Chains A and B, each alone.
Chain A
Amino acid sequence: MFPNEKIDPPSDDKRWRIVQATMRRNGFARHSLIETLHTVQESFGFLDEDSLRYVSRSLRVPLSAVYGVSTFYHLFSLKPAGKHTCVMCTGTACYIKGIPKLLEQIKEEHDISPGQTTADGELSLLTARCVGSCGLAPVGVFDGEVVGKLTPELLAARLQLWRNGNHA
């Protein structure tokens, strides 16, 4: 099940070793495509064309299929994210408890919509389909830290902290 030729990673970035380890653990099987893409995204933060080509050749999956998979699933991103990411939960409970208003607030204060990054590359805004903490709605995830019972003030303070970090 191993590729006939040795395929070198696009660069000598050490993070490729983690990607290679994932593929090796799965015997370079085609069905490990999603696992591999997860690893690439975890290591690099997003999937660029080089990494898609590399994964495609290593696993012998057509590039079109790799591209198809990476655009089909919401968790994969083809664009680099900002320095900080803010994920707002848009599950039902959060929706009822006022997430749309908070999203509008972010739009007003930072001029970004879900899926966008501020011009200074500091802040990316994403939405998630329920992070499963509905008891704490409305919920936001700030760089991996889940914050519940969000208020407009709390949200503004959190984001301002990041934006200011830039100038400090």
Chain B
Amino acid sequence: MHERFDEITQKELADNRAAQHVVKVCVAAGCLSSQSAEVKTALEQGVNGRSCKVKGVGCLGLCSEGPLVAIEKHLPDGSSQNIMYQNVTPEDAPAIMESLDKEPVARLLCPTDVPFFQRQQKIVLENSGEIDPERIEEYIAADGYRALITAVTEMAPFEVIEQITRSGLRGRGGGGYPTGLKWVTVAKAPGPDKFVICNADEGDPGAFMDRAVLESDPHRVLEGMAIAAYATGANEGYIYVRGEYPLAIARLKTAIRQAQRMGLLGSNIAGTTFSFNINIRLGAGAFVCGEETALIASIEGRRGQPRPRPPYPAEYGLWGKPTLINNVETFANVPTIIRKGGDWYASIGTAKSKGTKVFALAGSIVNTGLIEVPMGTSLRDIVYEIGGGLPNGGVCKAVQTGGPSGGCIPASYFDTPVDYESLKELGSIMGSGGMIVMDESASMVDVARFFMEFCMTESCGKCVPCRVGTVHMYNILSKIYQGEGTPRDVELLEKLCDMVSVTSLCGLGQSAPNPVVSTLRYFRHEYDELIAGANGSQTAVAPTTEVAS
């Protein structure tokens, strides 16, 4: 198998080198919605016999300046030179093509020596923006599927798990459960039928990392799942992907077909007794389906309502069989860990959070887009260095992490390193990696209300604390925001937060109060000011700037 891969790799490299210029156009969803498909067509038409290859690639990262076009120029001495263009329109194509052998088009140049590109360390996104997501050959040429072949032909399942355990990889969906431990539990569970599920139901508003991975490098996820299946003894896999991501679904389908044709999925992979198939299941727009037991119910064709745990899916999951559920980004880390070893991965990051994390930067920030940084990078670095600060020199008030289950971190805590534990201490969570930057104009009460509205609508209705509690909290928040609140409302709100988080059945309810709790903790004065405004005649409550924790 490795020989066949070598052949493909050499052919790909030769093809690549044959062209003097490789023009890479981002065809991920962000750029596609600003006409990158038209740009690609225009560039292809402009080739005109030049020694130049135009191809579509995955996300180049800086979504706000799309469509992005990267050009790799092969110099005669064997090295290559890279430049990037931003905000390219189809009309710019002739100018770009003309400039290939000359000086680059200055007005479109996107500086790549800035922290946004320099400070990143890419593992999950290493092929993103480099390879054509619709061609398996390019993935193989980028060392793809070698980890899977090595695993099934040279390693025992327990050795694979050992590498994952040593790597210190933790669930990237937000919970941060050690991946190795999860795999061991499933591997130890008795019975011949086991399942591997990839959770691609990226429901957090403001998060688009998984989407980018699926659209830019779908084979990496398939390979990660196949390795997980080998390690745990599963032979069937499901990818549960949001119905809102049509492009990701199409690319996954293509990728699965290609992998099957190459014998990398299906029966007797690489001539061994290991067989593994992957099916796609579409979500239908329910946030709660990101919860593992609800997700299983949805795959089984039922309403996506969670059930009490234990028993955990590792013992009693899909159709009652042991099931491994991991997030897209978790699986995407696996091939690299197997290829480079668990110890290598463990050398990146902090003591308890290893490796890198992909974040989606959005909101009031100059460089919106995708970044991948080592765990432990401080929020200040992410917002001001990599993110380029706020537009028009605005002042950052807070960063919201973790979506509706997370919290708002005020600017005064920006030196905190980003890892699972530190964020938890601050009352937020790592979450799946969405980061929304808010400037001074954002009302924190409104933000809390926004997330409560989200949780209220998305509550599945199975357990009472979540179904009723979120409605009450939303009503109180609305009342306060509209300037009709009383000090007693805040008291009641705090009590409700506590009650809902302690008594709810699943993660949605348990974490629903987080945005309220964290804004109350750091921005209580905003609540107080609104209430004081409502009760003008009474003595205004003294605004407390920061509440000691």
Enumerate chain A interface residues (CB-CB to B < 8 A): 29-35, 37-38, 61, 65, 68-69, 72-76, 90-97, 128-137, 139, 145-148
- A65 and B302 contact, CB distance less than 8 A: yes
A72-B286 in contact given A93-B363, A134-B362 (Cβ < 8 Å): yes
- B301 and A74 contact, CB distance less than 8 A: no
- B33 and A148 contact, CB distance less than 8 A: yes
- B34 and A148 contact, CB distance less than 8 A: yes
Contacts of B322 in A (CB 8 A): none
A137 to B360, CA, bound (A): 13
- B301 and A96 contact, CB distance less than 8 A: no
Contacts of A72 in B (CB 8 A): 286, 303-304, 460
Contacts of A129 in B (CB 8 A): 203, 205, 244, 285, 287, 454, 458
- B244 and A96 contact, CB distance less than 8 A: no
- A133 and B208 contact, CB distance less than 8 A: yes
List 8 contacting pairs A-B, 8 Å CB cutoff, sorted by A: A34-B282, A132-B29, A132-B211, A134-B368, A134-B434, A135-B362, A136-B34, A146-B29
Within 8 A of A (CB), among B215-268: 243-245
- A69 and B205 contact, CB distance less than 8 A: no
- B286 and A90 contact, CB distance less than 8 A: no
Contacts of A147 in B (CB 8 A): 33
Residue ID in chain B nearest A92 by CB atoms: B206
- A136 and B301 contact, CB distance less than 8 A: no
B465 at the interface (CB under 8 A from A): no
A89 to B369, CA, bound (A): 17
Contacts of B442 in A (CB 8 A): 96
A146-B207 in contact given A30-B301, A38-B284, A136-B63 (Cβ < 8 Å): no
Contacts of B400 in A (CB 8 A): 92
Contacts of B33 in A (CB 8 A): 133, 136, 139, 145-148
* Interface residues on chain B, number (Cβ under 8 Å): 51
Within 8 A of A (CB), among B169-222: 202-208, 211
Contacts of A146 in B (CB 8 A): 29, 32-33
B364 at the interface (CB under 8 A from A): yes
A131 to B301, CA, bound (A): 24
B438 at the interface (CB under 8 A from A): yes
- A92 and B211 contact, CB distance less than 8 A: no
A42 to B32, CA, bound (A): 22
- A92 and B434 contact, CB distance less than 8 A: yes
Residue ID in chain A nearest B205 by CB atoms: A91
- A135 and B202 contact, CB distance less than 8 A: no
- B369 and A135 contact, CB distance less than 8 A: yes
Interface centre among A29, A38, A92 (most CB of B within 10 A): A92
6 new A-B contacts, CB < 8 A, other than A93-B368, A139-B33, are A74-B284, A91-B206, A92-B403, A129-B285, A134-B368, A135-B362
B298 at the interface (CB under 8 A from A): yes
- B282 and A130 contact, CB distance less than 8 A: no
Task: Give the shortest distance, in Å, between B405 (CB) and chain A (any CB).
Answer: 12
Interface centre among B208, B284, B361 (most CB of A within 10 A): B284
Chain A proximity mask over B428-463: 1 for CB below 8 Å, otherwise 0: 000000101010001000000011001000101000
Task: Give the shortest distance, in Å, between B304 (CB) and chain A (any CB).
Answer: 7
Say which residue of B202, B281, B287, B301 sits within 8 Å of A132 (CB atoms). B202
- B285 and A93 contact, CB distance less than 8 A: no
A40 to B163, CA, bound (A): 45
Say which residue of B208, B285, B299 sits within 8 Å of A73 (CB atoms). B285
- B285 and A69 contact, CB distance less than 8 A: no
A73 to B203, CA, bound (A): 13
A29 to B203, CA, bound (A): 27
A136-B287 in contact given A34-B282, A96-B364 (Cβ < 8 Å): no
- B205 and A133 contact, CB distance less than 8 A: no
- A134 and B301 contact, CB distance less than 8 A: no
Contacts of B211 in A (CB 8 A): 132
Residue ID in chain A nearest B300 by CB atoms: A31
Residue ID in chain A nearest B304 by CB atoms: A72
Contacts of A74 in B (CB 8 A): 284-286
